[in-house]
């Protein structure tokens, strides 16, 4: 730490992103990216946009914002695009957490980091032993609620009725539903934003829309919420969406059929892999996301992670209580999943 670092950040533990190793070619199943490339249309739009890179992008990102609004049947004023959904999550912690924030003890690790960064006091409600959410915790709190639905790294989703129960219980308390993984089988709360002004739904282009490298996310909610978030955006980074990413995003929204086909492939590969993992003795949560959260009764999670890595397969292991026995395995192509299963079989044969 330099002598110039602001003391208020001295104790901050930053978020640790999943490994992006450069040392060898891994079967990369550790950061929930899509295994499918962006569409040809997205590539074409990006190359056209590249010819205008000498100009700043549209700070309102009008074309893509309108496309997203039309796609979900909401107004332009109900949508805000950001540099990955991480950015809008940070904005939400800055904008809406004067009374504190509440989220599960096991969830997306960035929530607590954003809370710390912004000096937001937060409560982590313990999940049940089976990793399901205790609904009453969220119904009863006055703090701004952050719920990843499906949750990460468990993949377990709440039903819309349950989200609605939380929303209805305290109309003056904001609920932020992070739907990063919603396109792989869970129900989206986007339509509820038309009914509840205390709901902000957050989406990303990083998973189902193959754009993790493009950094695009967005929020959908009541226009006053979006207006507040814009105040934060224009006070930090008005040009938060670069031309190339906006162009790629446009292509991926227009090529929705391709996106839906890819989601279905991931869902099918998830079912296929779960069956294979069960045959090897693994158990896992009921994931509706593009990952499987699995553990083996005889070999520790850490050992499986390290052995897989040695053999060129990368999964995500969390050194956190209640999670250490598990690995989060991104669902990729059928070929990638076959490599995973074959490698796991070899490991188990050696270890057991
Ligand atoms: N929310 C959840 C639950 C996530 O797992 C992730 C991805 N790590 C994000 C948000 C952020 O995604 P991005 O910034 O790529 O949009």
Closest ligand 1 atom number to CA of residue 89: 10
- Ligand 1, from 90, 206, 219: best to mutate by most atoms within 8 Å of Cβ? 206
Q: What stretch of H or E contains 62?
A: helix 62-72
Q: 204 in ligand 1 pocket by Cβ < 6 Å?
A: yes
Give pLDDT, residue 170.
98
Q: How far is the CA of 32 from the centre of ligand 1 (A)?
A: 9
Q: pLDDT of 279-333, one tens digit each? A: 999 999 999 999 999 999 999 999 999 999 999 999 999 999 999 999 999 999 9
Which of the listed residues 20, 83, 86, 90 should we mutate to test ligand 1's pocket, taking the one with most ligand atoms within 8 A of CB?
86
User: Sorting pLDDT into bands at 50, 70 and 90, what band is 21?
Assistant: confident
Q: Does the pLDDT value for residue 235 go beyond 80?
A: yes
pLDDT at res. 184:
98
Mean pLDDT of 159-172: 98
Distance 328 CA to ligand 1 centre (A): 14
The pLDDT score that the predictor gives to residue 22 is 84
Tell me what the pLDDT averaged over the chain comes to: 97
Please report which confidence band the pLDDT of residue 352 belongs to, taking 50, 70 and 90 as the band edges: confident
DSSP 316: B
- The tens digit of pLDDT for each residue in 196-229 reads 999 999 999 999 999 999 999 999 999 999 999 9
Residue nearest to atom 1 of ligand 1 (CA): 180
79 lines ligand 1 (CB under 6 A): no
pLDDT at 4 exceeding the cut of 90: yes
Length of the chain: 352
Could you tell me if the CB of 178 is within 6 A of ligand 1?
Answer: yes
For ligand 1, say whether the CB of 212 is within 6 Å of any of its atoms.
yes
- Beta bridge partners, 146, equal 176
Kindly state the average pLDDT of the residues 320-347: 97
The answer to whether the CB of 151 is under 6 A from ligand 1 is: no
Q: How confident is the model at residue 19 (pLDDT cuts 50, 70, 90)?
A: confident
**Which residues are paired to 293 by β-bridges?**
328
Provide the pLDDT for residue 134: 98
One-character DSSP codes across 192-233:
GGGT-TTEEEEEESSSTTS-TTT--EEEEE-HHHHHHHHHHH
Q: How confident is the model at residue 92 (pLDDT cuts 50, 70, 90)?
A: very high
175: its two tokens? 């609920």
Mean pLDDT computed over 151-176: 98
Q: Are 259 and 209 in contact (CB under 8 A)?
A: yes
Give residue 275 CA to ligand 1 midpoint distance, Å.
27
Range 24-51 average pLDDT: 96
Q: Supply the pLDDT for residue 257.
A: 98
Res. 69 pLDDT band, cuts 50 70 90: very high
Ligand 1 atom nearest 207 alpha carbon: 15
**pLDDT of 24 over the 90 cut:** no
**How many angstroms does the Cα of residue 86 sit away from the middle of ligand 1?**
6
Q: What is the model's pLDDT at position 23?
A: 79
Compute the distance from residue 31 Cα to the ligand 1 centre, in Å: 9
Question: What are the CA-CA distances from residue 130 to residues 9, 101, 126, 127, 287 (Å)?
Answer: 35, 23, 11, 8, 12
Residue (of 123, 81, 90, 88) closest to 209 by Cα position: 81
- Those residues whose C-beta lies under 8 Å from the C-beta of residue 326, and which sit 6 or more positions away, are 153, 293, 294, 295, 301, 317, 318
Mean pLDDT over 245-268 rounds to 98
Contact between residue 155 and residue 293 where contact means Cβ atoms under 8 Å apart: yes
**Ligand 1 center to residue 3 CA distance, Å?**
33
């Amino acid at each position: 730490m330099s002598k110039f670092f602001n003391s208020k950040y001295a104790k901050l533990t930053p978020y640790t992103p999943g490994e992006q190793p450069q040392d060898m070619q891994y079967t990369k199943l550790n950061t929930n990216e899509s295994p499918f490339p962006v569409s040809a249309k997205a590539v074409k739009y990006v190359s056209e946009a590249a010819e205008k890179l000498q100009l700043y992008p549209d700070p309102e990102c009008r074309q893509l914002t309108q496309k997203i609004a039309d796609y979900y049947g909401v107004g332009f004023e109900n949508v805000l695009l950001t540099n990955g959904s991480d950015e809008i999550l940070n904005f939400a912690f800055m904008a809406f957490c004067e009374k504190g924030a509440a989220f599960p003890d096991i969830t997306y690790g960035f929530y607590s980091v954003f809370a710390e960064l912004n000096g937001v006091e937060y409560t982590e409600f313990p999940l049940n032993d089976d990793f399901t959410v205790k609904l009453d915790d969220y119904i009863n709190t006055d703090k701004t609620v952050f719920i990843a639905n499906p949750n990460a790294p468990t993949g377990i989703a709440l039903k819309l009725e349950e989200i609605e129960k939380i929303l209805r219980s305290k109309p003056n308390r904001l609920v932020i539903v992070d739907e990063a993984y919603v396109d792989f089988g869970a129900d989206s709360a986007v339509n509820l934003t038309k009914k509840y002004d205390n709901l902000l739904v957050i989406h990303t282009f990083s998973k189902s829309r193959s754009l993790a490298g493009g950094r695009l996310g967005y929020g959908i909610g009541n226009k006053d919420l979006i207006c507040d978030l814009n105040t934060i955006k224009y006070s930090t980074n008005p040009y938060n969406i670069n031309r190339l990413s906006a162009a790629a995003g446009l292509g991926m929204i227009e090529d929705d059929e391709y996106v839906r086909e890819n989601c279905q492939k991931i869902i099918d590969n998830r079912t296929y892999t779960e069956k294979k993992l069960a045959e090897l003795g693994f158990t896992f949560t009921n994931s509706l996301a593009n990952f499987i959260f699995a553990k083996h009764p005889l070999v520790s999670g850490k050992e499986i992670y390290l052995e897989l890595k040695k053999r060129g397969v990368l999964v995500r292991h969390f050194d956190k209580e209640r999670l250490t026995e598990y690995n989060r395995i991104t669902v990729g192509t059928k070929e990638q999943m076959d490599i995973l299963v074959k490698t796991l079989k070899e490991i188990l044969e050696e270890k057991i």
